C-alpha cells in the first residue's frame, strides 16, 4: 500500500481491488537487489511514459510530443481491452521491482506511478467509462484521452502550416474513431450523458466547420487549404452523426448511472489513494459546508444587512465586471499576482503569463478552465478560458450565468494566481518527468480551491465583505459538488435534488445549478475540489504546527508544489514521515 490506511474498504470494494491487482498483499517478497537496480528504475519509468504515449497519442501531443500529432488512441472495444491488459502487465513489473535498490525519491515515484496505472484501469474496466460515458472521449476532468483539437488549432507550438497539417491528420483520425465510439456507447443512456454527448460531439462538428477555417485562414498554401477543406466535412459529419444518434436516443433516456458505494470507494482509492469511510467523508463535507454557510451569513450581515442570504448573493452576482467576464478576468490577473508577491505567499518559479479567452463551443461544460502547455513545450502561453452562457437558456438565465466581479476574482485565483497556472509552472519544473506529466485531480483542483481561501485568509481586498461573499460562493459551489457526488453515486440522490442543493445551499443561478447537477452524474470525481482542499488544509495545519504556524505557509506551499501533483496522501506521508494522523 502507498500509505497507512485509516479504514478497510467495504468487502465488495476490496474484492474489486483484488481483482484488479491493486492491493499490497499481492506484491512479491523483495528479491536480492542487483547493484544496478537503482539505475534500472529510471529506465522503467521512461519505458512506461513512452509506452503510454504510444497508447495515448493525443495525450502525448497535448504535452508537447509532436511526433504523435494527429493521432488518436485505438478506441475499438478490442483496443480498450488490450490497453487494460497492457496496464496490468506493467503494473506487475512495477510492484515486483526490487524495493531495496530504490532510494526514497524513487519509492515515492513508484507509488505515484502505481496510482496513475490504477486510475487508467479503474475508468476503463471498473467504471466501464468507454462503454457508458461520452465524457471518456470528450476529455475527463482528471485528464486522459480526448477528441479536443485545441493543441493544433489554438496552441502556437509551431507555424500555422505545421499545425494545419497536424489538424488534417487529426481529422482523418476522427473519421476512423467516430464509428468505434458509436459501437462502444451502450444505450439506453442517462439523459445527462446524452446532453453531454450531443453538446460535445455536436460542438466539435460546429467548431470544425466554423472556427477551424478561420484559425488557419492566414495559411497561403492553396493546396494545403484544399486539403483542409476536404478533411473538415468528413470529420464534422462523423461527429455530427454521433450527436444526431444520441439525440434520437433521448426518448429512451434513463436516470443517473450511479457507481454505487463499492465502486465509489474504489475510485477514491485507485485514483487518489484516499481510504476514508464514506460516512466520514460525507461528514467532513457537511462540516465544511456548515462552516462556509456560517461565514456567508457573517459576510452578508456586513454587506447586505437585513436581507436573506439568497438576496445577498444575488446582489453580489449582479455586480458584473466592467467590459464582460473575459475583460474583467484579464484586469484581475495582475493584481492577484502582485498580491502573492507582496505577501510572500509562494514562490513564482518563472516569468510565464496566462492569456484569457472565451472557451470554444465544443468545451463549455464548465464555466472556466485553463489550458496549460505540457513539460515538453517551451515558451508557450497558457490560456484561461471562460465559457459564455448556453444560448438555449432564457435571457434571464443567461444574464444570471455571467459571474459577478467578486466571484470572478476567485475563479481567476483558482485558474491562474495562485491556482492551476502557478501549480503547473511548478509541475513542469520538477525533476521527475512522471510528476510533470501526471498531475492528479485532487491535487490540481484541491490546490486551486485551497488557493482561493488562502488568498482571502491572507487579506486579499482587505476584508471587503463583498469580496468575501464572492469567495464563499465559490467554496459553497464546491461543497455542493462534494455532497452531490457522494449523494448521487452512493445514496440515490436524484439530479433534481442535487440541482436544488446547488440553488439553495450553493447559491448558484438556475443555469449553473442545472449544469453542475448534470456534471455530477458523469464526473463523480468532482468531489475532488473540496476533498483536495480539505486534505491540503489538514496537511498545512499538521506540518506547520511545529514550524511557526502561519509563518511557515510559504515554505509549506513551496514544498507541497515541489512534488508535482501526486495523490495527497502520498505527499503527506513524505512530508510527515511516521505521522499517523488522518488525512482529513
Within 8 A by CB and 6+ apart from 411, the residues are 329, 367, 368, 386, 403, 474
Lowest mean pLDDT among 6-15, 215-224, 449-458, 492-501: 6-15
Q: Which domain holds residue 95?
A: 21-147
Task: Tally DSSP H helices, then E strands, for the chain.
Answer: 27, 3
- Count of structural domains within the chain: 2
The predicted structure's pLDDT at residue 390? 83
Within 8 A by CB and 6+ apart from 289, the residues are 476, 479, 480, 482, 483, 505
Domain boundary among 147, 169, 192: 147
**Domain contains 421:** yes
Same domain, 141 and 273: no
**Domain contains 161:** no
Could you give the angle at the alpha carbon of 581 between the alpha carbons of 576 and 584, nearest 5°? 105
DSSP 388: P
Residue 3 has pLDDT above 70, yes or no: no
Could you report the per-residue pLDDT of 44-74, keeping only the tens digit for each?
A: 999 999 999 999 999 999 999 999 999 999 9
**Domain contains 221:** no
| pTM as predicted | 0.91
Burial of residue 354, with CB atoms counted within 10 A of its CB: 0-12 exposed, 13-18 middle, 19 or more buried: buried
CA pseudo-torsion sign 513, 514, 519, 525: positive
Residue 559 has pLDDT above 70, yes or no: yes
Same domain, 282 and 419: yes
Find, among 194, 69, 201, 75, the residue nearest to 138 by Cα.
201
The predicted structure's pLDDT at residue 51? 98
Residue 7 has pLDDT above 80, yes or no: no
In this structure, what C-alpha cell is assigned to residue 408?
Answer: 470572478
Same domain, 143 and 271: no
Residue 494: other Cβ atoms inside 10 A: 13
H or E stretch at 335 = helix 325-343
Within 8 A by CB and 6+ apart from 493, the residues are 484, 487
**HEC secondary structure over 471-525:** HHHHHHHHHHHHHHHHHHHHCCCCHHHHHHHHHHCCCCCHHHHHHHHHHHHHCHH
Lowest mean pLDDT among 35-39, 499-503, 527-531: 35-39
Within 8 A by CB and 6+ apart from 390, the residues are 364, 398, 401, 511, 515
Could you report the per-residue pLDDT of 289-317, keeping only the tens digit for each?
A: 999 999 999 999 999 999 999 999 999 99
H or E stretch at 369 = strand 368-371
Residue 31 has pLDDT above 80, yes or no: no
DSSP 221: -
Mean pLDDT of the chain, nearest integer: 92
Give all strands of the β-sheet with 354-358 in edge-to-edge order.
Answer: 354-358, 382-386, 368-371
The predicted structure's pLDDT at residue 365? 59
Domain boundary among 147, 162, 197: 147
Query: Using CA atoms, how far apart are residues 42 and 39, in angstroms rounded to an integer?
Result: 6
Same domain, 311 and 453: yes
Q: Band the pLDDT of 16: cuts 50, 70, 90.
A: very low
Coil, helix or strand at residue 32: coil
CB 148 within 8 A of CB 205: no
**Domain contains 14:** no
Same domain, 142 and 291: no
Please give the backbone phi and psi of residue 488, each rounded to the nearest 5 degrees, phi first.
Answer: -70, -30
Query: Using CA atoms, how far apart are residues 567 and 532, in angstroms rounded to an integer?
Result: 9
Residue 493 has pLDDT above 70, yes or no: yes
CB 238 within 8 A of CB 170: no
Same domain, 304 and 442: yes
Query: Using CA atoms, how far apart are residues 550 and 568, in angstroms rounded to an integer?
Result: 21
Could you give the angle at the alpha carbon of 266 between the alpha carbons of 264 and 268, nearest 5°? 75
Residue 548 has pLDDT above 80, yes or no: yes
Query: Using CA atoms, how far apart are residues 153 and 147, in angstroms rounded to an integer?
Result: 13
The predicted structure's pLDDT at residue 165? 98
**HEC secondary structure over 202-215:** HHHHHHHHHHHHHH
In this structure, what C-alpha cell is assigned to residue 23?
Answer: 492491493
**Domain contains 76:** yes
Could you report the per-residue pLDDT of 103-126, keeping only the tens digit for each?
A: 999 999 999 999 999 999 999 999
Could you report the per-residue pLDDT of 361-383, keeping only the tens digit for each?
A: 766 756 789 999 889 998 888 99
Query: Using CA atoms, how far apart are residues 51 and 510, in angstroms rounded to an integer?
Result: 45
Domain boundary among 118, 147, 176: 147
How does DSSP assign 90-112, residue by residue?
HHHHHHTS-GGG--HHHHHHHHH
**Domain contains 37:** yes
**Domain contains 238:** no
**Domain contains 370:** no
Amino acid at each position: 500500500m502507498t500509505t497507512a490506511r485509516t479504514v478497510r474498504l467495504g468487502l465488495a470494494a476490496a474484492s474489486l481491488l483484488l481483482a484488479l491487482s491493486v492491493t499490497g498483499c499481492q506484491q512479491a517478497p523483495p528479491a536480492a537487489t542487483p547493484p544496478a537496480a537503482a539505475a534500472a528504475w529510471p529506465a522503467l519509468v521512461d519505458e512506461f511514459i513512452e509506452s503510454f504515449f504510444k497508447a495515448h497519442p493525443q495525450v502525448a501531443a497535448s504535452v508537447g510530443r509532436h511526433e504523435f500529432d494527429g493521432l488518436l488512441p485505438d478506441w475499438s472495444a478490442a483496443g480498450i481491452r488490450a490497453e487494460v491488459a497492457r496496464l496490468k502487465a506493467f503494473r506487475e513489473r512495477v510492484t515486483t521491482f526490487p524495493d531495496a535498490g530504490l532510494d526514497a525519491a524513487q519509492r515515492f515515484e513508484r507509488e505515484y506511478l502505481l496510482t496513475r496505472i490504477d486510475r487508467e484501469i479503474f475508468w476503463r474496466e471498473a467504471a466501464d467509462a468507454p462503454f457508458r460515458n461520452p465524457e471518456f472521449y470528450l476529455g475527463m476532468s482528471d485528464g486522459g484521452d480526448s477528441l479536443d483539437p485545441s493543441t493544433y488549432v489554438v496552441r502556437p507550438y509551431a507555424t500555422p502550416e505545421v499545425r494545419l497539417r497536424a489538424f488534417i491528420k487529426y481529422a482523418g483520425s476522427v473519421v476512423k474513431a467516430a464509428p468505434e465510439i458509436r459501437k462502444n456507447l451502450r444505450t439506453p443512456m442517462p439523459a445527462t450523458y446524452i446532453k453531454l454527448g450531443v453538446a460535445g460531439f455536436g460542438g466539435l462538428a460546429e467548431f470544425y466547420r466554423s472556427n477551424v477555417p478561420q484559425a488557419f485562414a492566414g495559411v497561403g498554401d492553396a493546396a494545403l487549404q484544399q486539403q483542409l477543406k476536404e478533411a473538415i466535412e468528413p470529420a464534422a459529419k462523423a461527429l455530427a452523426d454521433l450527436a444526431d444518434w444520441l439525440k434520437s436516443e433521448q426518448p429512451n433516456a434513463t436516470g443517473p448511472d450511479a457507481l454505487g458505494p463499492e465502486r465509489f470507494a474504489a475510485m477514491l482509492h485507485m485514483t487518489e489513494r484516499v481510504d476514508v469511510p464514506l460516512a466520514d467523508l460525507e461528514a467532513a463535507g457537511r462540516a465544511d459546508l456548515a462552516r462556509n454557510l456560517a461565514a456567508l451569513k457573517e459576510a452578508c450581515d456586513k454587506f447586505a444587512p437585513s436581507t436573506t442570504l439568497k438576496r445577498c448573493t444575488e446582489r453580489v452576482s449582479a455586480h458584473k465586471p466592467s467590459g464582460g467576464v473575459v475583460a474583467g478576468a484579464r484586469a484581475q490577473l495582475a493584481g492577484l499576482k502582485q498580491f502573492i508577491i507582496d505577501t510572500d505567499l509562494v514562490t513564482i518559479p518563472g516569468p510565464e503569463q496566462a492569456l484569457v479567452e472565451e472557451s470554444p463551443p465544443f468545451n463549455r461544460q464548465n464555466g472556466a478552465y485553463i489550458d496549460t502547455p505540457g513539460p515538453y513545450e517551451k515558451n508557450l502561453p497558457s490560456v484561461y478560458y471562460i465559457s459564455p452562457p448556453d444560448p438555449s437558456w432564457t435571457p434571464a438565465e443567461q444574464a444570471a450565468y455571467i459571474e459577478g466581479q467578486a466571484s470572478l476574482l476567485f475563479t481567476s485565483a483558482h485558474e491562474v494566481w495562485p491556482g492551476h497556472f502557478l501549480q503547473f509552472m511548478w509541475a513542469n519544473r520538477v525533476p521527475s518527468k512522471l510528476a510533470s506529466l501526471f498531475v492528479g485531480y485532487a491535487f490540481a483542483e484541491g490546490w486551486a480551491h485551497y488557493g482561493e481561501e488562502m488568498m482571502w485568509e491572507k487579506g486579499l481586498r482587505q476584508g471587503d465583505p463583498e469580496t468575501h461573499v464572492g469567495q464563499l460562493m465559490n467554496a459553497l459551489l464546491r461543497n455542493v459538488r462534494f455532497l452531490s457526488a457522494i449523494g448521487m453515486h452512493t445514496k440515490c440522490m436524484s439530479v433534481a435534488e442535487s440541482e436544488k442543493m446547488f440553488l439553495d445551499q450553493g447559491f448558484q443561478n438556475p443555469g449553473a445549478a442545472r449544469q453542475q447537477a448534470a456534471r455530477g452524474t458523469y464526473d463523480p470525481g468532482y468531489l475532488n475540489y473540496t476533498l483536495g482542499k480539505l486534505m491540503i488544509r489538514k496537511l498545512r495545519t499538521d506540518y506547520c504546527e511545529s514550524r511557526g504556524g502561519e509563518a511557515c505557509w510559504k515554505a509549506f506551499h513551496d514544498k507541497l508544489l515541489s512534488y508535482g501533483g501526486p495523490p495527497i496522501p502520498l505527499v503527506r506521508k513524505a512530508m510527515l514521515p511516521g505521522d499517523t494522523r488522518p488525512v482529513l
